[in-house]
Structure 1
Amino acid sequence: MKMLMRILLYCVGLLFLAFGVAFSVNSNLGVSPVNSLPYVISLIIHQDLGRCIVGVFVTYMVVQIIIKRKEYKWINLTQLVFSTIFGYFADFAKGVMHGFVIPTYFGQLLMMAISIVLVALGVAIYMDVKLVNMPMEGMTLAISDCFPNIEFHKIKIIVDCSSVAIGVVLSFLFMHGLFGIREGTILSAILVGKILPVMKKRVSPIIQKLCF
């Protein structure tokens, strides 16, 4: 029963994260960092965002294997299953949000703020159920293990910013302009890592009661 609750809450966390992505897309201020690279790739190759998310997340899994080598736990291959679920959730959230926007620049900022909170909440939930990390967080943890003196949320900020930087390069290289990445993406890259510890403090006690 506890395992079922953990799986359920994990999927709830992914759903929060998916709606965070949808809010960032509709804000027109740039996609959240966790999906900025898949979003740019989806624009380049004209494929659904969900499929591109799965493709990029598989790359993150490969990076984990390279870093961890013999220490890599093969149970982490189940990340592929949850990545696929998240890909479907992302397309579902985009469908639910459809053309919803809040007019004016302040409205766009508000939508991006909601996106940042939803992303941080989603990550806090699915990390705290201690089931399996999503590929980007798994890769971040693998990198974090190489730098034990640096806190995880600081490593996450670096990884998020690096993902955004790659997205910017690809956008200019293949589309000759900046698409899907704007000031909101940068704000999200900086703020999600800062909000995450706050979210975890609030979420952890609840998850401990429900799952452990």
Structure 2
Amino acid sequence: MGQITPGVVLSKVAVYAVGLLFMAFGVAFSVNSGLGVSPVNSLPYVVSLVLGVDMGSCVIAVFCCYVLVQIVIYRRDFKWVNLTQILFSTLFGYFVDFAKAVVGDFALPTYPGQLIMLAVSMVFVALGVCLYMDAGLVNMPMEGMTNAIAERIVKKPFHDVKVAVDCLAVAAAILLSFVGLGGLEGIREGTLLCALLVGKMMKPMQKVVAPLVDRICSAPQEEQGEPEVLMEGEGVSE
């Protein structure tokens, strides 16, 4: 196993941040597709429309609620280091604003064009989730909550539970949209497609992403050799 050195930690943080950036661009493309935002961000997006607040702030607020759900599920087994999810959620909020500024008003006007933008969005979101999960730091709040539900409540594989959690998030956003806005906003057929397909897309993606992230986040060979010699020495002295 590789040593946890400052270089390895920095590599993990960098991979994690790149994953969040991919997800943020997924949000921007889904918004501009006009077919509905991605499920992960459907609730924050509708909350932002209802309250008239910028989306980044709503992402942070909603994701903090997801952290609270984890605390309730895990109770005493909740690792307090997972509160850093709030920190990464804040970073993600800034990335969303950045991605929206970069993408701007770019849109493909025809329906096939909208579907292309939606497909790009789904690839970005799935790739982003794979990257930051394989970095091995903390989950983002929605994935952390999904993990908690998968492990403690339904005891089923993460990928399958993610599809269900995404669908529940979309359902909550639809309800809030009708109650707070008097109609359906920000959620369309594209949102449902994302809910059904992103979790499935992650399975084959992780076969490629996981080994790559492992290579990037591993300590160099020379650094790995020294600890093994020390361990042998300890074994002799015993």
TM-score by length of structure 2 reads 0.88
Per the TM alignment, residue 147 of structure 1 is displaced from its structure 2 partner at its CA by 4.5
Per the TM alignment, residue 103 of structure 1 is displaced from its structure 2 partner at its CA by 1.6
- 1:172-187 alignment to 2 at 5 Å? 172-187=178-193
In the alignment, which residue of structure 2 is the partner of 1:93? 99
Distance 1:57 1:30 in 2: 20
Distance 2:71 2:203 in 1: 27
Q: Is 1:13–2:19 an aligned residue pair?
A: yes
Aligned residues: 212
In the alignment, which residue of structure 1 is the partner of 2:42? 36
Distance 1:30 1:134 in 2: 22
Distance 1:38 1:148 in 2: 25
Report if aligned partners of 2:30, 2:37 keep a CA contact under 8 Å in 1.
yes
Per the TM alignment, residue 68 of structure 1 is displaced from its structure 2 partner at its CA by 0.2
Amino acid aligned to 1:168: I
- 1:1-212 alignment to 2 at 5 Å? 1-147=7-153, 149-212=155-218
Report if aligned partners of 2:170, 2:191 keep a CA contact under 8 Å in 1.
yes
Runs of 4+ displaced beyond 3 Å: none
Secondary structure of 1:41's aligned partner:
helix
Amino acid aligned to 2:98: F
Distance 2:128 2:24 in 1: 8
Amino acid aligned to 1:208: D
Amino acid aligned to 1:56: V
Distance 2:113 2:103 in 1: 15
Secondary structure of 1:101's aligned partner:
coil
Amino acid aligned to 1:195: M
Per the TM alignment, residue 112 of structure 1 is displaced from its structure 2 partner at its CA by 0.3
Distance 1:199 1:48 in 2: 32
Per the TM alignment, residue 39 of structure 1 is displaced from its structure 2 partner at its CA by 0.2
Per the TM alignment, residue 150 of structure 1 is displaced from its structure 2 partner at its CA by 1.7
Amino acid aligned to 2:91: I
Distance 2:152 2:112 in 1: 40
Distance 2:140 2:148 in 1: 12
Per the TM alignment, residue 199 of structure 1 is displaced from its structure 2 partner at its CA by 1.2
Amino acid aligned to 2:25: F
Can you list the C-alpha shifts for 1:45-104, whole angstroms capped at 9, x where unaligned? 011110000000000000000000000000000001100000000011111111000120
Amino acid aligned to 1:26: N
In the alignment, which residue of structure 1 is the partner of 2:223? none
Q: Give percent identity, aligned residues only.
A: 57
CA RMSD after TM alignment: 0.8
Bigger-Rg structure (1/2): 2
